[in-house]
Structure 1
Amino acid sequence: MRSMARRGLAIATTLALLAGSAACGADEGSSRGPVPGVTDTEIVVGTHMPLTGPASAGYSKIAPATKAYFDYVNANGGVHGRKISYKIMDDGYNPANTQQVVRQLVLQDKVFAILNGLGTPTHTGVLDFLHSNRVPDLFVASGSRSWDQPDRYPATFGFNPDYTVEGKILANHVKTALPGKKVCFLGQDDDFGRDSLAGVEKVLGADAVVARQTYVTSNTNVAPQIGAFKAAGCEIVMLATVPGFTALSVGTAARLGFSPQWLVSNVGADHPTLARQLGDAAGLLDGMIGVNYLPMQNDTTDPWIQLFTKVNSEHNGDAPFDGNTVYGMAVGYLFVQVLLAAGPDLTRESLVEAVRKGGYQGPGVAPLRFSTTDHSGYGGGRLSRISGGVQSYFGPTYETDEEDGPVNEYSAPPVAPPANGVPTA
């Protein structure tokens, strides 16, 4: 009898353990138990951002702009009756700090998702941690192709056009409008620079780039790199640089008596940010060509700029308005769209499935490409030029892939925002 009792106790204990395991599994996004970061009245999400450090110029404004848009949505009733709370953690653009703050957001703050974590070298270091903890990792603020790995990282999605796509678009302009000129390339010494260079070489060919240089954000002296370009007789310099290093490159070139045609990744091409960095020397930016995929920050006739300017005034302390403000609010708008699509019975699984569903339209001039097989985000962009201190679009919007496909014109017009500025399900 005692033997049977012991067996009965063992079976009961095993069942209890299995029930406990099921409860733990439910905590990761099943409707059978509590969902991290979600209550009947609130959705808590988090991010890592360079509020300080070498990439803080301009980028420190992104998350406050996203939060301002969430505050605007909250003031208009929230999403399915829930208010969005946004926890913003400063990582100083330091990968070691990123790992620390993301662990805090996930393990201590129990956020529902990580939204728009910024930086190629920083976010790369937390991909496996977020994947193993089954945390949705949405709209990474970087164009690295690392985010577009649906099989390896099924809950990670990009936002920016990937750097190879924009490298191809910039190179296509060189090929068609500036043929025969000596091309040089300066890129950040990570996937940002490498992926961008890959796009340039796919269009122009490796032999067309006569000099290649890299930089690291811990060293603000780019005179050796710019000096090498001058010595090589470069007529065009293509930059895969964060804003601080775009400004450093332009300022250093002027000091060395070197004045090439600059073509710059969207990452480092926002004119208001660069002008603040260069101060009285901001005129050096005239003629710079960039690529962008969101409404131009100074286009007051654009309905999205009108909406975001209103939100900035009402919920962001009327902070100086630039491309980073537009970017942050565009991310917020997309996240609200996805939350609505995920439905009122919100889980991590339903959120990820809502992104995979795709079909989203918003402020972007290029298409969003989310699907079960594509996690890359925006798929193209439009060229801009700075003239007389004003940054403006010119020419058509282009789209392309990260492989060897052509650079094609994209003709679908952008959609207008809803009347009240808040998307509907």
Structure 2
Amino acid sequence: MSHQSSASRSARRFGVLLAASALVLTACSTPSAPGSDSDDPAATGDSTGVTDTTVTIGTHTPLTGPAAAGYSSISAAATAYFEYINEEGGVHGREIEYIVKDDGYNPANTQTVVRELVQQDEVFAIVNGLGTATHQSVLEFLNQNKVPDLFVASGSTSWNQPDKYPFTFGFNADYVVEGAALAQYAADELPGTSVCMLGQDDDFGDDFLTGLETALGADGVAHVERYSVSNQDVTAQIGALQAAGCEVVTLATINGFTALAIGTAAQLGWFPQWMASSSGADYPTLQGYLGDAAPQLLQGFIGTNYSPMGDDDWVTLFREINDEYNDGAPFDGNTIYGMSVAYTFAEALAAAGEDPTRESLLEAITSGDLQGNGIAPLAFAPDNHAAYLTVGITSVDQGVQDYIGTTYEVRGGAVTAVEPAPVALTGNGIPG
């Protein structure tokens, strides 16, 4: 039976299931926290998914399908970090159980597996659900059911709407921030050059273009080409950018299309300055696509990032965890990303108290006290559900990708150069 048939039946039952789940959650919205005095109002709250020994969370991610090759390693890396922290005693004595469900990068499947996580597995929170279209399909459901929807794996600005979606928080620096930072770097370091864009024909490309125009002005982008991810040929777009005389090409692309664009341009004998958002700028992944030509084609390649990289204590720790708890899987930007997300959740859980509730978890995140492990401390606040408003500029030199020291904060429509303030590793990466 096809997924479409199953999805159709699920859709017909959705209203009934949603109403039922709302009644169930209303009935149990104020249970006493584990081990607390039920007569103490301060100790009440929704502790779904929490026992005396465990905290159960879940995620949706593509373990199969066309996006699996690029993204399935993220949840594996997060799982490895949770195994590391559990072996060290967990958080407040509780182990973190991470249920990973495959949605094949299909929104219909996402709706099915997220309902399972909430209604059957009764998770405490959804953590790092992956994909823009996939996660948008469950935004309303999670917020209506008051399930913490944490650290979405996408740079869409959809996740930063505290009034509309109070339970949802992003993790990636959003595409507006990354586009603005790259454009400002081009203006600062390559003044007078023709800055162009190649990007997806969806929200990714739209937000990224908004970021470019934030820094360069409405007329500052010389030429724009868009493509559909369903078409694995960008020859026409690359040819148009070349014909337009573009000197700097900024990319709103995932890694596979970054490599496709650079490889296609090389075949045409064209070598502009390439700049890409973090979604398409991971050197080890690009090297996998481009092979032996990567060091030459990517020399001087500019990107953005907000996670630890290069010669960093966090990277050293994550390599050790990867070797011991992740079967020595290939170590790349996805590994660092997955473990960084897992650490951030553990930090929030530690700050939520010895007897955490969904309410205390959200209070911990919006308190402004969480640091994370990035290029700058986390930016979460009651009126901001975006994790990073600051990104660093990265460059590839002789096959090594690292920060170059140039860092931008993008806030309130302004792009400001700031000093990097990376969060130092403490406590062997175990919060609290």
TM-score by length of 2: 0.88
Moved more, 369-378 or 103-112: 103-112
2:8 — aligned with what? none
Distance 1:104 1:189, change over 3 A: farther
2:14 — aligned with what? none
8 Å CA contact retained: 1:57, 1:244 = no
Larger radius of gyration between Structure 1 and Structure 2:
1
2:364 — aligned with what? 354
CA distance in 2, matches of 1:212, 1:324: 28
Moved more, 57-66 or 74-83: 57-66
Distance 1:253 1:51, change over 3 A: farther
1:15 — aligned with what? none
Q: Residue 417 of structure 1 is aligned with which of 414, 418, 425? A: 425
1:393 counterpart = 2:403 = yes
**Offset, 1:190:** 2.1
2:214 — aligned with what? 202
Q: Residue 286 of structure 1 is aligned with which of 299, 319, 322? A: 299
1:264-288 per-position Cα deviation (integer Å, ceiling 9, x unaligned): 0011101001101122331312221
8 Å CA contact retained: 1:366, 1:399 = no
> Aligned runs of 1:92-241 on 2, under 5 Å?
92-241=104-253
**Offset, 1:396:** 2.8
2:26 — aligned with what? 25
Structure 1 vs Structure 2: percent identity of aligned residues?
A: 57
Distance 1:340 1:211, change over 3 A: same
1:248 counterpart = 2:289 = no
**Offset, 1:351:** 1.3
Letter in 2 for 1:321: F
CA distance in 1, matches of 2:293, 2:280: 17
**Offset, 1:28:** 3.7
TM-score by length of 1: 0.89
> Aligned runs of 1:10-49 on 2, under 5 Å?
24-28=25-29, 30-31=31-32, 35-49=47-61
CA distance in 2, matches of 1:197, 1:51: 30
CA distance in 2, matches of 1:290, 1:86: 31
8 Å CA contact retained: 2:214, 2:414 = no
1:320-353 per-position Cα deviation (integer Å, ceiling 9, x unaligned): 1111111111111110111111112222122112
**Offset, 1:58:** 3.6
Q: Secondary structure at the match of 2:427?
A: coil
**Offset, 1:410:** 3.1
> Aligned runs of 1:35-74 on 2, under 5 Å?
35-74=47-86
CA distance in 1, matches of 2:396, 2:69: 19
* Residues paired across the two proteins, number: 399
Mark the runs of 5 or more structure 1 residues left unpaired by the alignment: 1-20
**Offset, 1:310:** 1.4
CA distance in 2, matches of 1:122, 1:228: 31
1:406 — aligned with what? 415
Q: Secondary structure at the match of 1:117?
A: coil
CA distance in 2, matches of 1:43, 1:245: 38
> Aligned runs of 1:240-279 on 2, under 5 Å?
240-279=252-291
**Offset, 1:87:** 1.1
**Offset, 1:81:** 1.7
> Aligned runs of 1:347-386 on 2, under 5 Å?
347-386=357-396
**Offset, 1:230:** 1.5
1:320 — aligned with what? 330
CA distance in 1, matches of 2:373, 2:306: 9
CA distance in 2, matches of 1:243, 1:362: 25
| Structure 1 residue ranges (4+ consecutive) displaced by more than 4 angstroms after TM superposition | 21-24
1:34-93 per-position Cα deviation (integer Å, ceiling 9, x unaligned): 733222221111111223334334422111111111101100111122111111122232
**Offset, 1:33:** 8.0
1:152-180 per-position Cα deviation (integer Å, ceiling 9, x unaligned): 10010111112111111100111111122
8 Å CA contact retained: 1:367, 1:379 = no
Moved more, 48-57 or 23-32: 23-32
Letter in 2 for 1:293: Y
**Offset, 1:29:** 5.7
8 Å CA contact retained: 1:362, 1:416 = no
CA distance in 2, matches of 1:52, 1:316: 19
Letter in 2 for 1:324: N
Letter in 2 for 1:392: D
8 Å CA contact retained: 1:186, 1:240 = yes
Letter in 2 for 1:193: G
**Offset, 1:30:** 4.3
Distance 1:230 1:152, change over 3 A: same
Q: Secondary structure at the match of 2:245?
A: coil
2:315 — aligned with what? 305
Moved more, 227-236 or 46-55: 46-55
